[in-house]
Chain A
Amino acid sequence: MNWIEVFLIPFIKSLVLILALLTGFAYMTYYERKVLARFHVRYGPNRAGPFGLLQPVADAIKAIFKEEIIPAHVDKWVYLAAPVLALIPALIAFAVIPIGPDLNLFGRQVSLYIADVNIGFLYVLAVASVGTYGVILAGWSSNNNYSLLGALRTAAQMVSYELPLGIILVAVVLTTSLATGEGSLSLVGLVQQERPWWVWLWLWVAFPIFFICMLAETNRSPFDLPETENELVAGFQTEYGGIKFALFFMAEYIHMITASAIMATVFFGGWQGPFVDRWPALGILYFVVKVILVLFLFLWVRASVPRVRYDQLMHFCWKFLFPVSLVYLAITAVLVALL
């Protein structure tokens, strides 16, 4: 058995990916604070290092050296497991996302994804559905009414918004069969496929719906109902402090990066771009730029839209997004059948 192919290369790839994501998280907080500051006509962090670039490092050191407090009234094991359960799905979703085309590294053909599985789309949905547990268990184990309310809201919110999300993804899968006649559920295959311009236009029609669902899935403003500071005092995170709070923070931001990567891959061609054929390394750059642009949308929405009420959130999902996504799926199915 070729152990280099089977164990060593995936291991190194995973390690690099996780390190990149953690660094990405650190600078995502910086990015968010700077962008929000611009929206508020402020400067944002600018004291630690040039342009405040060392601010994430300072924050990390502060979080690590804070005193570990485990409140006496919590359910200890579940309380400690919850932040981990929140973080893991955010990290492993990246396994099926292609970051760039195949590269020649050290005389070896290296693919820039961890797994090209034929169930890529389903894998994304499965990981998204498991992501709920961290928040629910955190809320329950905290033994605190505010936390429990936040957790229950999360459960309802995430289960509801997964429906339109999944239906849009089904429509995207349907369009993959247009070019070759054989559809595929692989994200790697999706990026490599050539698609005519009207397919792109039709996909972009669905992008706003998908983006709204992703906002709700990642618990971002205006759908950050699980942690509403002013009515639930940060909801499921109330009883968490120090590095455990930082883990939840990390989970939320890495979820955001993963969601942006999925959207960049599905709707904007992933690593594709001009001159990628000649310099494959350029693909990574295109991918990163696209992810950063989609991330900007998250921040833009946060800076400009107020939080919705909980009943509005549920009505919006079930009475607007869900029917609209069903109609979109039906039209896509007819188009694919006719063409």
Chain B
Amino acid sequence: MQLVLFFVLALLAVAGAVGVVLSKNAVYSALALLLNFAVLAVFYIMLNAQFLGVVQVIVYAGAIVVLFLFVIMLIGGQLAPDALTAGSRRPARVVALIAGLVALAGLAYGLVSGALAPQTGQVQGSGSVQAIGRVLFTDYLLPFELASVLLLVAMIGAVVLARKPTKS
């Protein structure tokens, strides 16, 4: 039952990911990305990590893809192919190919060496809000606070950039 569900969802996730790359229209790409994120959220919930699943929906589906769509609508997604002519795209292609091959090699190494093998003997309820909250505010307090400071700095930077320049 769970295995069947997994394969159906995995197929959907891969279809979404392929759709992001292949579709000509930027809005369709964003929608395919949305599909991919939604399926990932379902995966998290199937793995008993409800908190991660919901946060995946709130942050990625609810905010980030909305912002993508926002930008695409304001700027117009159809402009991109004309701006990049075939000649200027060649170096980018080579870099992307190398990066993709490196990522694939890393994945293959992980699978062969067993570093990516599933964890056994997992703790019950390890994905619940309570468990994550407890760990976040005890063992990982410093990284957590540092990340929040980082976000705050980014936000202040955005406000400074967006502000109207004062008249001199």
Contact = CB atoms under 8 A, between A and B. Distances in A.
B134 to A, nearest CB: 12
Interface in A144-172: 148, 151-152, 155-156, 159, 162
A126 B63 contact: no
A122 B129 contact: yes
Contacts of B66: 129, 132-133, 136, 155, 159
Interface in A118-147: 118-119, 122-123, 125-126, 128-130, 132-133, 136-137, 139-140
Given A140-B69, A151-B73, A155-B69, A119 B54 contact: yes
B58 A119 contact: no
Contacts of A148: 73
Contacts of B62: 126, 128-130, 132, 162
Contacts of A126: 54, 57-58, 61-62
A117 B51 CA distance: 11
B20 to A, nearest CB: 16
A119 B61 contact: no
Nearest to B77: A140
Interface size class of A (residues with CB under 8 A): 20 to 34
A99 B51 CA distance: 24
Contacts of A151: 73
A204 B126 CA distance: 35
A188 interface: no
B12 to A, nearest CB: 16
A118 B57 contact: no
Contacts of B70: 136, 152, 155-156
B74 A152 contact: yes
A16 B57 CA distance: 27
B137 to A, nearest CB: 13
Interface in B23-63: 27, 31, 34, 50-51, 54-55, 57-58, 61-63
B51 A129 contact: no
Contacts of A132: 62, 66
Contact of B55 (A78, A117, A122, A162): A122
B148 interface: no
B27 A78 contact: yes
Nearest to A136: B69
A162 B66 CA distance: 13
Contacts of A185: 129
Contacts of A128: 62
A119 B57 contact: no
A118 B128 CA distance: 8
Interface of B: 27, 31, 34, 50-51, 54-55, 57-58, 61-63, 66-67, 69-70, 73-74, 128-129
14 contacts: A75-B27, A78-B31, A117-B50, A119-B54, A125-B54, A126-B58, A129-B58, A129-B61, A129-B66, A130-B57, A130-B61, A130-B62, A139-B73, A159-B63
